[in-house]
Structure 1
Amino acid sequence: MPWRGQPDTRITLSGLPEKFEADTNYSLSLELSNDEIPQSTESAQGGFRIISNTGTLFFDNDTGHLIDDGWTHKDISNQQRIWNLSWLSPSDNTTMSKITIYGNAVNGNQMSNGDNWDVIEVYVPGVENFDPIPTAQIIDHELEIFDKTMLVLGLLALLYICFRMIKD
């Protein structure tokens, strides 16, 4: 299900069914949590971007607006970490819906330092869809110790070859 951003920030989407019925409206709640970044009632606390490949998302006009096929928070609603929305499921209950959510818990200093983000992909099949739900795709951009060792050894070998060529 999710591929993760930074480990301290978590996105929770509640209200989705295990399998959706066609043309059904579901009331959802989107919540960001991060115990390391305190919430302030006087500055920004967080934001989101949510994209659904099927079905239709609806937000209250004060909390979200549609930009380039996805919803995002409005400035007026970034002083919170919980947003309510609804999702009208597709009319074809043999499909699989994918909802991608990007969330950013912020510290309110108007800069990116000290902020943390997360991203999840949620799959909801229709009641007549029996395809397997895609497995978690974890994207980790960190190099493992083996990769770092091989990189250093490769660079040393390259330096040795260059040194030998220049010396001769």
Structure 2
Amino acid sequence: MVGYSGGGDTGGDDWANGVLVEGCSCHNLEQSETGMWALEGFPARYGPGTVYNLTLTIADSGVTDAADPAAAGGFLLRVTNGSFAGGDGFWTGDSGRLLSHNADSNDRRNWTVTWTAPDEGTGDAVLTVYFNVVNGENGNDAGDGWTRLVAVSLGTPQALEDEKGIHELGVSLKQYWIGLIGIAITLVFVLLAYIVLRGGGECQLPRLTKSSSRSPAAS
């Protein structure tokens, strides 16, 4: 994720869009299977308009640091709702929905940033994190490792659009009542048919049996 593991520039919409699509492939084509992270402060359910301090700590057991590393790591955050606050050591874009380290803060593997939750009725906030642990050998190589993770903070449901009256849908009041009367008449006929069929099935003629006559016994 760092432009160069030796401390190249980072940031910019083109760079961020490339990371979101391809990951940190400028360092290693494949995502690391040994990346480790801790994300603190991102709430399971946010309070509308609340300001949160998010702390990201990263590591990768598959990365061996150089003897005199020029850089240590970097990250890119993207959130669907709410906004990040920039400052020294960070780059922001897309109206605050993107935030990353810059060349002044790639010498560490721990950062704290500020996120302001969206207003009530906005919906959930999905946070995507790309981070890169680099060996600091002043170049992009297979010794660097990157990882992607996703977290969700639940919010209040989005407000439904105002319900429209029947007349706003192009149906006149007369047509509305004619339709209701037609449905009622249909239901009445269905009910009558059911009663007739059910009654006819239960009305059965008595079965006639031939009685046998017996001769009186001779006395």
Listed as ranges, the gaps of 5+ residues in structure 1 are 130-168
Larger Rg: 1 or 2?
A: 2
Matched residue, 2:207: none
Q: Counterpart of 1:74?
A: 102
Q: Deviations along 1:59-105, whole A, 9 cap, x unmatched?
A: 4x222112455212111110100011011000125511011111010
Q: TM-score, normalised by structure 2?
A: 0.52
Deviations 1:6-62 (A, max 9, x none): 111123211112211100001110111113324567411111111111001124x22
Are 2:28 and 1:28 aligned? no
Residue 53 (structure 1) aligned to one of 65, 72, 80: 80
CA distance in 1, matches of 2:39, 2:132: 14
The structure with the largest strand share of the pair is: 1
* Structure 1 stretch displaced more, 36-45 or 113-122: 36-45
CA positional deviation for 1:121: 1.1
Asked whether the 8 Å contact 1:94–1:125 carries over to 2, the reply is no
CA contact (8 A) 1:93 1:125 kept: no
Superposed CA RMSD in Å reads: 2.3
Letter in 1 for 2:82: G
How many angstroms apart in 1 are the aligned matches of 2:116 and 2:90?
A: 16
Deviation larger for 86-95 or 42-51: 86-95
Following the alignment from structure 1 to structure 2, what is the Cα–Cα distance between the partners of residues 12 and 22? 24
Cα distance in 2 between the residues matched to 1:72 and 1:94: 24
Please show how residues 122-141 of structure 1 align to structure 2 within 5 Å.
Answer: 122-126=151-155, 128-129=156-157
Alpha-carbon distance in 1 for matches of 2:46, 2:121:
7
Aligned residue pairs, count: 125
Q: Deviations over 1:102-132 (max 9, x none)?
A: 1010001122320000001111101x35xxx
Spell out, residue by residue over 1:114-156, the C-alpha distance to the aligned partner (whole angstroms, 9 max, x if none).
Answer: 0000001111101x35xxxxxxxxxxxxxxxxxxxxxxxxxxx
- Residues 6-155 of structure 1: pairs in structure 2 closer than 5 A: 6-39=32-65, 42-59=69-86, 61-68=87-94, 69-93=97-121, 95-109=123-137, 110-126=139-155, 128-129=156-157
Gaps of 5+ in 2: 1-29, 158-219
Equivalent pair of 1:11/1:118 in contact (CA under 8 Å): no
Separation in 2 of the partners of 1:62 and 1:39?
Answer: 26
Query: Which structure would you say has the larger RCO, counting Cα contacts within 8 Å and 6 or more residues apart?
Result: 1
More helix by share: 2
Secondary structure at 1:77 match in 2: coil
TM-score using structure 1 length: 0.66
